[in-house]
Amino acid sequence: MKVIHLVLGKANPERMNGVNKVAHHLAMSFYELQIPVEIWGITRTPDQAVYPRPFPTYLFRAQPIYRDLDPKLMYAISQQEKDTVFHIHGAFITDFYKVTRLLKDMKLAYVYTPHGAFNRIALEKNKWVKKVYISQFEKAILRDALKVQFLGQSEFDHIASVVRLQNKVVIPNGQDFSELHFDFSNMQRRRNPVFGFCGRLDIYYKGLDTLLEGFAAYCRKEGDGELWLIGDGPDRPKLEALCRQLRISERVQFMGARYGKDKLNRIANMDLFCHPSRSEGSPTAVLEAGALGRTLMVSTATNVGQQVEQYRCGLHLRQSNAASIEKALFDFEKYYRQGLHTEMGERAREMVSREFNWLAVARRLLDVYQVKNAVLR
């Protein structure tokens, strides 16, 4: 059996998006397990050098919706053995629809991971456009897949309102601890404790409006902490304006996009990592912060709330609103003053190590990839 991970983009792990990063780590895990594996990327710039890996990486040209697939991609698919399994990462991509139709015709199996695209909140954005697209394209991809991998229970449950599936499974993302090596240095802080967020500054999806509103309420009631926001995005000016409106600008630091060791050091200087998302697949930033031993505050939508409760390593926001965030910040401040946050951070690291190990995730997917008894349509 050979596994081919298909992504949109150049599949470069340096500053790549979350989906490409997942495909990279999965492929590396399969290589470690001695499973033949390749990564294929569909991109507008396929002639660029590929990222060096111990297994093949191939790039193909993305096509407009009215054109067939890149002929080189069609030929490459036609050369695959019948026991090859394709793993397609990402949703609402027309080239992926064309690929799955070709795979179906050739009786080649594929696993489909939408990476959070079918969460309830995610489907509300451009709702009617997505509804038409799903009826014309996505339903066929979902139904013909060997398995549809959902990263969390919320998306697994919500898909029933879109299409009835018997071929769905929940398998989360993982975390690579080898990526977390850096030289720690204490950063200057204005106040204690430090609450923090790292990710795309998207108000709607990440729930950053409720985070600022909850933090403002906490400040008004004489909470002592400050808030760091790592990341960038089109909503940054709106968030900065909201800080001014809420009169918390002096207590909030916008640190911009950070990468590599610089980003890791900033997260490691936080006392509580906050992720009050309205919609997620499996947020890599939460796993990264947990692996760095940070206490976690997460919404149910992150799909890690139950594990946070199980390991007693943070606060689970069952209702992600300003009032619940205000309460959680005061609860954490109490733990911080009592010195309990260090133990909670250690349990967060244990949680990530046990529940979100990439090799364990890869082994679960290998069970999914077995196609001997699969009925290919």
Indicate whether 244 belongs to any domain: yes
Instruction: Give the CATH number, domain containing residue 64.
Output: 3.40.50.2000
Q: Are residues 103 and 189 in the same domain?
A: no
Indicate whether 17 belongs to any domain: yes
The residue range of the domain holding 120 is: 3-174+358-369
Q: What is the dihedral of CA 99, 104, 107, 110, to 10 degrees?
A: 60
Count how many Cα atoms sit within 13 Å of the Cα of residue 192 in the half-sphere of its side chain.
Answer: 8
Closest CA to 207 of 94, 266, 121: 121
Indicate whether 376 belongs to any domain: no
Q: Are residues 43 and 134 in the same domain?
A: yes
Indicate whether 194 belongs to any domain: yes
The confidence score (pLDDT) of residue 371 equals 55
Q: Are residues 151 and 226 in the same domain?
A: no
Q: Are residues 182 and 322 in the same domain?
A: yes
Per-residue CA distances from 107 to 4, 73, 76, 371 (Å) = 15, 17, 15, 11
Q: Are residues 126 and 222 in the same domain?
A: no
d(CA 100, CA 50): 24
Q: Are residues 205 and 161 in the same domain?
A: no
The confidence score (pLDDT) of residue 372 equals 44
d(CA 223, CA 18): 34
The confidence score (pLDDT) of residue 49 equals 85
d(CA 319, CA 276): 9
The confidence score (pLDDT) of residue 57 equals 95
Closest CA to 351 of 301, 299, 285, 306: 306
Indicate whether 375 belongs to any domain: no
Indicate whether 374 belongs to any domain: no
Indicate whether 46 belongs to any domain: yes
Q: Are residues 155 and 70 in the same domain?
A: yes
Q: Are residues 134 and 202 in the same domain?
A: no
Q: Are residues 311 and 363 in the same domain?
A: no
- Give the number of domains in the chain: 2
Q: Are residues 202 and 65 in the same domain?
A: no
Residue indicated by tokens 């947020």: 283
Q: Are residues 198 and 94 in the same domain?
A: no
The confidence score (pLDDT) of residue 70 equals 97
d(CA 301, CA 299): 5
For residue 31, the tally of other CB atoms under 10 A from its CB is 17
Q: Are residues 7 and 71 in the same domain?
A: yes
Indicate whether 377 belongs to any domain: no
Mean pLDDT by 10 residues, the chain (377 residues): 92 69 93 97 91 94 94 98 96 97 97 92 89 96 97 90 95 90 94 96 94 98 97 96 98 96 97 92 88 97 93 95 98 97 98 93 93 44
pTM above 0.75, yes or no: yes
Count how many Cα atoms sit within 13 Å of the Cα of residue 305 in the half-sphere of its side chain.
Answer: 20
